[in-house]
Amino acid sequence: MTPGVPTTLAQVDAVWLSEVFGLPIESVDVTQLAVGSAFLGTVGRLQMSAPHSPNVPATAIVKLPATDPAALAVGKLLKVWHREAMFYEQLAPRLPSTISVPRSYRTIIEPSSHRAAVLIEDMAPAAAGDQVKGASPEAARAAVAALAGLHAPWWGMPRTAHLEWVPGIDRPNTGAGLQGAMEASFERFAARFAYLLEAETIEWTRRFVPQVRDYLASMARRPLTIAHADFRLENMLFAPGDDSKVTIVDWQTAMYTGGATDLSFFCTTSLDITTRRAMEDELCDLYIDTLLQLGVEPSQTAHVRDDYRSSMLWWMAMLANNLADMATPDRRSVDLFEAMLTRLHTAALDHELGDLV
């Protein structure tokens, strides 16, 4: 019998892990990770004692669905846990060897609830980047080069039958469903963050939300790829003292969409404002040049800079939906929300996005 998906880390015990691995595990110590930053999931490091099971790793990372009710609602709507499990089962093995992702040990999926658990390689001592502090120039270049490497294999390629599970903006109901959710949540977001953001950019977002379905339909006519769709610094691991190599984690939102949406999200939320202004053109050039080096045709990248700009509006609407009700249980989570939102909305002002709505 397939083991169920635990509700909390407290249920990740030696009995459950023995069922998962099919091997006897005597004991386990669980430490919760990413508190205040893993909003759609619960993450724990496992230290396992299995002296009679040499194939069981000494340590691993477990990822479970979130426990916060608002995060659970968002996660269920977007099927994020099922998506991540399927990524490790079907997409990770097809990535180029130059793209670093953790090795998957086990995935458990509950199809009826779309809940899932994944057990993956512990990449310690590598650690997540600091979203509030922002990426260093070296980390930014490494992340953008890796991003192009992720996107290139699927750039402009049609879906194959075994990838029908991947959500995407090419699906007929995606735009309508997301627009409806955004329209229902936007005013709560506007009220919650009015203290932080310019009234002008809040109004731009308000005007864009009713255009989301048409915007996504327009984007879907461009070459699409499989994107990360939450490509930000705290979903990347770096070795201590070395920002030149990046491991990409948290694949809960992998989807078919325009590649520039990942680039836009990273640059406008993971770089502090001064660094983004100084490096923006360089990083866009690096992304496009790397795609070309990996075999993408020049004609299929002509839209990237325009999409980079318009995607800021998309992310303003998406964050408005996702953050309208999401809990901020500690100061770290408040700082994270504020950093991402102020950076993104400042980029919108810098790019004068009002002319797009």
Answer yes or no: is pLDDT of 93 > 80: yes
Highest-pLDDT range among 47-61, 123-137, 164-178: 123-137
pLDDT at residue 172, rounded to an integer = 83
Answer yes or no: is pLDDT of 1 > 70: no
Mean pLDDT calculated for residue range 58-78: 83
Answer yes or no: is pLDDT of 38 > 60: no
Answer yes or no: is pLDDT of 217 > 70: yes
pLDDT band at residue 69, thresholds of 50, 70 and 90? confident
pLDDT band at residue 36, thresholds of 50, 70 and 90? low
Answer yes or no: is pLDDT of 28 > 70: yes
Which three-class secondary structure string do you get for the chain?
A: CCCCCCCCHHHCCHHHHHHHHCCCCCEEEEEEECCCCCCCEEEEEEEEECCCCCCCCCEEEEEEECCCHHHHHHHHHHCHHHHHHHHHHHHHHHCCCCCECCCEEEEEEECCCCEEEEEECCCCCCEECCCCCCCCHHHHHHHHHHHHHHHHHHCCCCCCHHHCCCCECCCCCHHHHHHHHHHHHHHHHHHHCCCCCCHHHHHHHHHHHHHHHHHHHHHCCCCCEEECCCCCHHHEEEECCEEEEEEECCCCCCEEECHHHHHHHHHHHHCCHHHHHHHHHHHHHHHHHHHHHCCCCHHHHCCHHHHHHHHHHHHHHHHHHHHCCCCCCCHHHHHHHHHHHHHHHHHHHHCCHHHHC
**pLDDT tens digit string along 320-337?**
998 998 888 788 889 999
pLDDT at residue 30, rounded to an integer = 93
pLDDT at residue 235, rounded to an integer = 93
Is the entire prediction scored with pTM above 0.75?
A: yes
